[in-house]
Amino acid sequence: MEKEKRILVGMSGGIDSSATCIMLQEQGYEVVGVTMRTWDIPSHFSTPEQEQPDEILEAKALAERLGIEHHVADVREEFRNVIVQYFIDEYMKGRTPNPCVMCNPLFKERILCEWADRTGCAQIATGHYCRLEDRKEHRYIVTGDDPTKDQSYFLWKLPQEILKRMVFPLGGMTKTEVRAYLAEKGFEAKAKGGESMEVCFIDKDYRDFLREHCPDIDERIGTGWFVDSKGLKLGQHKGFAYYTIGQRKGLEIALGRPAYVLKINPAKNTVMLGDAEQLKAEYMLVEDINVIDLQELLECPDLSVRIRYRSRPIPCQVILLDEGHLLVKFKAEASAITPGQSAVFYDKGRVLGGGFIAFQQGIKKLIAENEERKHVLSST
């Protein structure tokens, strides 16, 4: 079969990648599967005797049943050095990481490209719930038809050279339809399978994970102070890395009223607390941007931004500060602006690009400068 009809599928052994394999095979593709072994935790093994985790065994079984070529990529060491280290480093900087956002361009899709070249596959397919759209010379990610499963938010960092090889067969389906499709094809047990964890390498609480993989974290950070918006001390906390913006539960401090984390200052090891109203924001700073067409982003009349996975898109406009930074003005209510999380920009359902939410220090000065600039322009 010609190379154009050989397609590599990232097989996790789950519902979505299994449906992807079957669907592509029905469409006449010669499917090649690769399963990445990234991280071993006890819940990934059904029996103590297993040498490989469940997902690899399930992917192998599916490949054998479908008669497709299958490979296992043992990338545990690299995953630890790249993705897990990023996760730890971000918390140590007082930020809240997006491991899935980083994993796609830096790790999974890059490795899939390498395996596609190795196995003679022109294209790469995954079970992501999103679609693709070609405009002029660019390829854009578009939200999937199932709003509860849409995964476009996680893919904004994918470069064009990878996107132009990608195929997302499930983008036009809902999860319910995918389950029904698998059952119809004789994979009833698979169709009834459970969902995978949101962060694949976290088995319990992320704080326990940090302590396990960074044993000296408590010595390096130490206890610090909860403070209010005026800087007054409210009580001690366990260390800034154990908190995230917007957090209300697990603070272990009694103030006689609901309290939320407003800001984290890693330099001073302080965590600012306040009420829900204080979490609201009219602007935010975004850094490390990756945008397909910057002019389109700046001039888009229907621009919106999602500031966390599953959050609603918020209408906005953006001001370019310099090559890698944007000032975002919200046109509707926004809350809990969290450094380290992704800000993903949409024109209706089409992803124009994204960036990481920055620490918001100095934003008042930038807002004032922007308002002054607008005043000068309107006066001329």
**Checking DSSP bridges between strand 342-347 and strand 303-306, what pairing results, if any?**
antiparallel
Burial of 287 (0-12, 13-18, 19+ CB in 10 A): middle
Q: Is 12 annotated as a binding residue?
A: yes
Q: Is 300 one of the catalytic residues?
A: no
Residues paired with residue 125 on neighbouring β-strands, in sequence order: 9, 167
Residue 224, annotated as binding a ligand: no
Residue 78 contacts residue 38 (beta carbons within 8 Å): no
Task: Determine whether the annotation assigns residue 15 to a binding site.
Answer: yes
Identity of the amino acid at 322: D
CA distance 141 to 125: 14
The one catalytic residue in 103, 130, 300, 316 is 103
261: number of Cβ within 10 Å = 22
Active-site option among 21, 100, 121, 200: 200
> Is 342 annotated in some ligand binding site?
no
Tell me whether residue 1 is annotated as binding: no
Q: 14 among the known binding-site residues?
A: yes
Task: For residue 345, list its beta bridge partners.
Answer: 305, 353
| Residue 3 and residue 9 in contact, taking contact as beta carbons nearer than 8 Å | no
State the Cα angle at 349 between 345 and 350, rounded to 5°.
60
Known binding residue 229? Answer is no
- Confirm or deny that 23 is annotated as ligand binding: no
Residue 152 is assigned to a ligand binding site: no
Task: Confirm or deny that 16 is annotated as ligand binding.
Answer: yes
Q: Which residues make up each annotated binding site?
A: 10-17, 36, 127
Residues belonging to the active site: 103, 200
Q: Which residues make up each annotated binding site for ATP?
A: 10-17, 36, 127
